[in-house]
Amino acid sequence: AAGVIQSPRHLIKEKRETATLKCYPIPRHDTVYWYQQGPGQDPQFLISFYEKMQSDKGSIPDRFSAQQFSDYHSELNMSSLELGDSALYFCASSTVDRSFGYEQYFGPGTRLTVT
């Protein structure tokens, strides 16, 4: 079965650079979520999109922005990178499930290292 695809899987950037992470949801899923997981930390919700519109916003820094495109893939843009941005970034996708609400399926993550 198709899963959530994230690219790139690994990314190394220097401080103050810009990074773009991409997420391709499971086909027919209309909602995308972004999470940030620092070393030894639990995932922190950043932002979500439903039908190409922002549906919820969490602890996303102002230096980050994201959007969902017409084909439902999403991109997380990160500017003025800081050392503290080094983390595993997960994307998850879902669709409405009347039994369980919004079952989220996670991608493999993008490991961002800022040097």
61 vs 102, which CB is nearer to other proteins? 102
Considering only residues 11 to 40 of the shown chain, the ones binding other proteins according to CB under 8 A are 31, 33, 35
Q: How buried is 48 (Cβ within 10 angstroms: 0-12 exposed, 13-18 middle, 19+ buried)?
A: buried
d(Cα 95, Cα 115) in Å, to the nearest integer? 37
| DSSP β-bridge partners for residue 110 | 89
The residue type found at 36 is Q
52 vs 79, which CB is nearer to other proteins? 52
Binding footprint of other proteins on the chain (CB under 8 A): 4, 31, 33, 35, 41-43, 45, 48, 50, 55-56, 58, 88, 90, 92, 94, 99-109, 111
